[in-house]
Amino acid sequence: MKTTRWMVRLLVSIAVLAGAPQVLALSVDSATMPAVAKAVRVEALKLGAGARKASVLALEAADPAEIEAVRQANSASFHKKLQIGIGRDIVATKGQAGSAALQWTAVAGGLAAQWEVSSSGAHALRVGLAVRGLPAGAELRFAGRKDLGTVYGPFRPGDIAAGETYWSPVLEGDAAIVEVFVPTGTATSEVAMSVARLSHLFASPSDPAIESLAKASQSCEVDLICRSASDAALASTGKSVAKMTFSDGQGGGTYLCTGTLLNTTNSSFTPYFYSANHCMSTQASASTLTTHWFYDRTSCGSGSAGSGYTQLPGGATLLYANAAADSLLLRLNASPPAGAVFSGWDANTLSSGTALTAVHHPAGDFKKVSLATMGGFGSPFDSSTGFIISSWNSTATGVTEGGSSGSGIFTFNSGSGQYQLRGGLYGGPSSCTASGASLRDYYSRFDQVFPAISQYLAPTSGACSYSLSPTSVTVGAGATSGTLTVTTTSGCAWSATSNASWISSSSSGNGSGTVSYSVASNSGAARTGTLTIAGQSFTVSQQAPVTSSTNLVSNPGFETGTAGWSQSATGGYPIIYQDASVARAGSWYAWLGGYDSGTDTLYSSVTIPADATQASLRFWYYVATQESGSTAYDRMTVWIASQATGARLATLTTLSNADRTSGWVQSGSFDVSAFRGQTVWLVFTATTDSSNVTNFFVDDVSITATASGGGGTANYTALWLTPSEAGWGLNVVHQGDILFATLFTYDSSGRDLWLSMSSGTKQPNGSYAGTLYRTTGPAFNAVPFTSIGPSNYTTVGTMTLNFTSATTATLTYSVNGLPVVKNIVKYVYGATGYNCVGTTASRDSSTNYQDLWLTDNEAGWGVNVTHQDNTLFATLFTYDASGRDMWLVMSGGTRQPDGSYLGDLYRTTGPAFNAVPFTPITFPANYTTVGTMRFTFTSGTTGVMSYTVNGAPVTKLIRRFVFSSPVPICS
């Protein structure tokens, strides 16, 4: 449906496609899906009459006011997407909804059990199953009580993604059967699933009266059969058009759109399916797709559907979704039915005045045809030309309605005698009562979309393949920019398109190249968008600005059901429930435990901003138990887990039956600031023993963060490098809006070389740039060490650092005219890495020594310390006896019993700084041990450094270097 935010995003990003590269415009004709030469097997339920009673989950009638509100919204919508169902939660005990309570019956080949699920007054249902695991050989079948002769399935574990809500096909009537089968020898306890939600359809896609049920009806539409009876080409095109039913992937609402099956240049019969981005734009939604084929009247004006009507479940794979062009390309997971036609298409630019034909399912009704004239290119909102204007000939020859969204607009090719697709319906003001300027609609431009999807529809013998590096990035709330690399072969065209107004890119190319993009500042909630390059996705996740009131937990009070949370229970029960009489606030809460010998786990992804100086967890809980006394038998533990490995990083608190309460209680505050800059799992796990049940209720979970004294921006103090190029690196110290960066690398002879950017200032686009210097100075062991001055500095070029996230960046620099570009990452060698933030507070008590250290009155040398766990990586920048720059490294200084850090000191050789490729150095070939190095820190800001180089000893009193504010503090 139309929203202001969606339109603004469209207006900002519509110009993205204008920069698309020129791809040879093609057109192809249609092809018909061949019949499959095999016996047709009629599916049936395993359990027949007289079987053990199904577990019954019955819902009362839905709220009529809620349904009427949807109907009215359908009638008023600018877009032509139609809602025909509302999501309903299963309000039942765990014993009814969970698989642990299924009543199993022996059948041929194994065991079977059923749920019967109903929603009073529904015309049809879709059942949402929370599937946490199915054993090998398991099968699911579905049937509607109104039509038990039509059984959908079997669906096997490979068809169902564990951990997601799996939606059934559309099942006729207000009651449905869900049947589970496991083969002989399989323990039924391996079935871990539950009925989580229903979609209550107040209009069935197969009902001839669907239009009046779903919205205020219109009567000017023309049945396809009325024209196709005398137009064989139009009849063929009609067989490429299918009605779509799908969920939004979250709430359980069911929607209608229309799509078109497309042919490829080699007629591969790959089921590519074209529709509109505003119908669906996520894989979660695409996975719920069911298509309805051959839903046509048997004759012009008759009220019955043809016998060929087929519902095809199984979902689809999302290949391309672009909000700017409102275009969508899917690949159906199941083959279309025999007789379906793969439509032809034409990627040439349309000419004004061309006759247009639309084939669609308005309001989910029988297939209709509408006639129009191409009225030029335009937009419903501004003067851009991103859409085809379809000027309908008259209301008597048809318009479009809700449910028509995504449907194709076609032109007739007199040479081949076939219709070819030219775009898909976005929306517009047309209706059966429209006139004048309102008698028009807007369609996506297939000619502009084609370059991005040509790899699918127009493969060649030397088919283009594309890869991106990296494939995702996380950025802070501030405006920033970045780059990524496209790898392909010469002659393969690509362009970058964005599905979000706050991400922009006009990059395009032919062959391998670089994509540049910009990200606008974010003043609202965390958000995610996608750049699509030749069908490949680059995901941009932008953090919310940090304030003391920011709750970092998605869906903290469970008021949007399971959204943002994953749940599993050994008993097969749901954990998130709706019951206002139990919830602390609102009507939703989480319930862990509540049965014997069980383990329940509830977890959510949380990103702790890199610029947070403090982050803490609190939650409300209620412990009700049958246990007595103070011995802990049943427990709920709250902990932080790594998303990469699942390993426990920290245990925050544990509650037990001994912590029983008489009502809701708010927990204490638990510090999670150690995980700033990381995305982790927040986990609640409850375990119960074999008797005396304990219930752990949780509600209103919050993790709040406080911004740093640095004004809420990330701090990039770190050692940065390219992982595949061992031997060089870049130390960055970040204070205020200034970076001090020291590059250690090698000259053309392979000898060590270091360069410094002593004042890299923040630029308007968020990058940091400054002059790059090479210096000379006294020997490392000179006493006294005379500070260097202007005569010791030589300008060799410039350096720019563009941070694409808290842990990734692009380094660009030049040395005497030789350019270098590197994709770099923050170097992590400890168990949990480290994070730095800006602070104006004292660092005297700090026990992490990450920083640039030096000695007062000895300008010209310094030592960068990287501190992770109990190991220091120290890089010393100084000069040899001739005054030439020299750098030395202690790569593994370990903590000693006296608290100091000690390690071997090395000098290395390697490839020239601009070598391509840069061959990694190896030990011991490129390493020479020159001595040892020791750090003894006397406070968080002072210390003693002692080292030897080929027997020459040096001892220095050192302190942290301060050149701006706030300064970094790391943990």
The answer to whether residue 13 scores a pLDDT higher than 60 is: no
Look up residue 926 and give its two tokens: 């490129």
User: From CA 896, how far away is CA 892, in angstroms rounded?
Assistant: 12
Three-state SS annotation for 111-147: EEEEEEEEECCCCEEEEEEEEEECCCCCEEEEEECCE
Our answer to whether residue 278 is catalytic in this structure is yes
Tell me how crowded residue 628 is: count the other CB atoms within 10 A of its CB. Answer: 10
Q: Which domains does the chain have, with CATH numbers?
A: 4-30+227-454 (2.40.10.10), 55-201 (2.60.120), 469-542 (2.60.40.10), 566-707 (2.60.120.260), 718-829+836-970 (no CATH)
The answer to whether residue 38 scores a pLDDT higher than 60 is: no
The answer to whether residue 655 scores a pLDDT higher than 90 is: yes
Comparing C-alpha atoms, which of 484, 32, 380 is closest to residue 240? 32
In terms of phi and psi (left: phi > 0; alpha: psi -120 to 50; beta: otherwise), the region of 727 is left
Q: What mean pLDDT, rounded, does the chain reach?
A: 85
* Ranges 381-395, 403-417, 824-838: which has the least confidence: 824-838
Task: State the pLDDT confidence band at 708, using cuts at 50, 70 and 90.
Answer: very low
Cα torsion 705, 709, 712, 715 to 10°: value is -100
DSSP-based three-state secondary structure for 744: strand
The answer to whether residue 906 scores a pLDDT higher than 50 is: yes
Task: State the pLDDT confidence band at 192, using cuts at 50, 70 and 90.
Answer: confident
- What pLDDT is recorded for position 342? 96
Q: What is the mean pLDDT of residues 514-520?
A: 83
- What pLDDT is recorded for position 510? 79
- What pLDDT is recorded for position 460? 65
Comparing C-alpha atoms, which of 391, 507, 532 is closest to residue 449? 532
- What is the percent of the chain with per-residue pLDDT over 70, rounded to a whole number? 89
Return the higher-pLDDT residue of 644 and 513: 513
- What is the percent of the chain with per-residue pLDDT over 90, rounded to a whole number? 46
**ω before 154 within 30° of 0 (cis)?**
yes
Task: State the pLDDT confidence band at 19, using cuts at 50, 70 and 90.
Answer: very low
User: From CA 33, how far away is CA 38, in angstroms rounded?
Assistant: 15
pTM of the prediction? 0.52
User: From CA 153, how far away is CA 736, in angstroms rounded?
Assistant: 62
> Which of these is catalytic: 123, 200, 278, 292?
278
The answer to whether residue 463 scores a pLDDT higher than 70 is: no
Task: State the pLDDT confidence band at 12, using cuts at 50, 70 and 90.
Answer: very low
User: From CA 927, how far away is CA 850, in angstroms rounded?
Assistant: 24
The answer to whether residue 644 scores a pLDDT higher than 90 is: no
> Which of these is catalytic: 223, 326, 346, 885?
326
> Which of these is catalytic: 236, 285, 405, 481?
405
**ω before 784 within 30° of 0 (cis)?**
yes
Q: What is the mean pLDDT of residues 80-95?
A: 70
- What pLDDT is recorded for position 49? 64
* Ranges 295-299, 346-350, 732-736: which has the least confidence: 295-299
DSSP H or E stretch at residue 142: strand 139-144
Cβ atoms of 396 and 220 within 8 Å: the answer is yes
Residues 6+ apart with CB under 8 A from 228: 234, 235, 238, 369
Task: State the pLDDT confidence band at 557, using cuts at 50, 70 and 90.
Answer: very high
Our answer to whether residue 326 is catalytic in this structure is yes
Comparing C-alpha atoms, which of 179, 82, 814, 808 is closest to residue 425? 82
- What pLDDT is recorded for position 78? 56
Our answer to whether residue 405 is catalytic in this structure is yes
How does strand 408-413 pair with strand 467-469? unpaired
The answer to whether residue 712 scores a pLDDT higher than 60 is: no
Tell me how crowded residue 690 is: count the other CB atoms within 10 A of its CB. Answer: 8
Amino acid at 957: L
Q: Which residues of 24-45 are buried (b: 16+ CB within 10 A; e: fewer)?
A: eeebbbbbbbeeeeeeeeeeeb
Identify the residue whose tokens are 């049936």.
Answer: 44
Look up residue 890 and give its two tokens: 């202690």
96-122 tens-digit pLDDT: 667 777 888 999 999 999 988 999 999
Comparing C-alpha atoms, which of 218, 270, 240 is closest to residue 410? 240
- What pLDDT is recorded for position 419? 97
Task: State the pLDDT confidence band at 609, using cuts at 50, 70 and 90.
Answer: confident
Cβ atoms of 24 and 89 within 8 Å: the answer is no
- What pLDDT is recorded for position 841? 76
User: From CA 127, how far away is CA 129, in angstroms rounded?
Assistant: 6
Q: What is the mean pLDDT of residues 381-389?
A: 80
- What pLDDT is recorded for position 189? 84
